């Protein structure tokens, strides 16, 4: 079956611009996660959705970052006034159940964001 997909695969933008990154989770998966992976580091948690609501947004670095999942499926990560330090690979993952600590998180290929 189809896995997690993310668009675009690459995004180059200028400092100060607004960007949106899209994630299509595996069909039927209740939980959705966003992570950010900087060069040479492991993924870092940003936000977790149970259905439509953000259950944990403690990883969002500041108020320039926002994410939505209005219908409990597709999610969009929005970054305002981008800064060069936002450059990273943004990863999306989904898992079958909300609250399932042992559930496998299935990752998408990521969106590579470059802020010039």
Partner 1 sequence: AQSVTQLGSHVSVSEGALVLLRCNYSSSVPPYLFWYVQYPNQGLQLLLKYTSAATLVKGINGFEAEFKKSETSFHLTKPSAHMSDAAEYFCAVTSMEYGNKLVFGAGTILRVKS
* Interface residue list for partner 1 (CB under 8 A): 3-4, 31, 33, 35, 40-45, 48, 55-56, 59, 91, 93, 95, 98-102, 104-110
Query: Closest distance between partner 1 and the C-beta of residue 111, in Å?
Result: 11
Q: Which residues contact 32 (CB under 8 A, 6 or more apart)?
A: 23, 25, 48, 49, 69, 75, 92, 93, 94
Whole-number Å distance between alpha carbons of 82 and 100: 33
In 3-state terms, what secondary structure has residue 85? Answer: helix
Nearer to partner 1, 86 or 90 (CB): 90
- For the record, the structure tokens of 59 come out as 């990883």
56 phi and psi, to 5 degrees? -155, 110
- CB 57, min distance to partner 1, A: 11
- Name which of 33 and 82 has its Cβ closer to partner 1: 33
Residues 27, 32, 34, 35, CA torsion sign: negative
Minimum distance of partner 1 from residue 66's CB (angstroms): 18
Q: How far is the CB of 56 from partner 1 (least distance, A)?
A: 5
């Amino acid at each position: 079956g189809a896995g997690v997909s993310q668009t675009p695969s690459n995004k180059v933008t200028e400092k100060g611009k607004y960007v949106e990154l899209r994630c299509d989770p595996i069909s039927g998966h209740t939980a959705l996660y966003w992570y950010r992976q900087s060069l040479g580091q492991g993924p870092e948690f940003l936000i977790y959705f149970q259905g439509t609501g953000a259950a944990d947004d403690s990883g969002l670095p500041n108020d320039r970052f926002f994410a939505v999942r209005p219908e409990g499926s597709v999610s969009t990560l929005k970054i305002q006034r981008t800064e060069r330090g936002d450059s990273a690979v943004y990863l999306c993952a989904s898992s079958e159940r909300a609250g399932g600590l042992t559930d496998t998180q299935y990752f998408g290929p990521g969106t590579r964001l470059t802020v010039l």
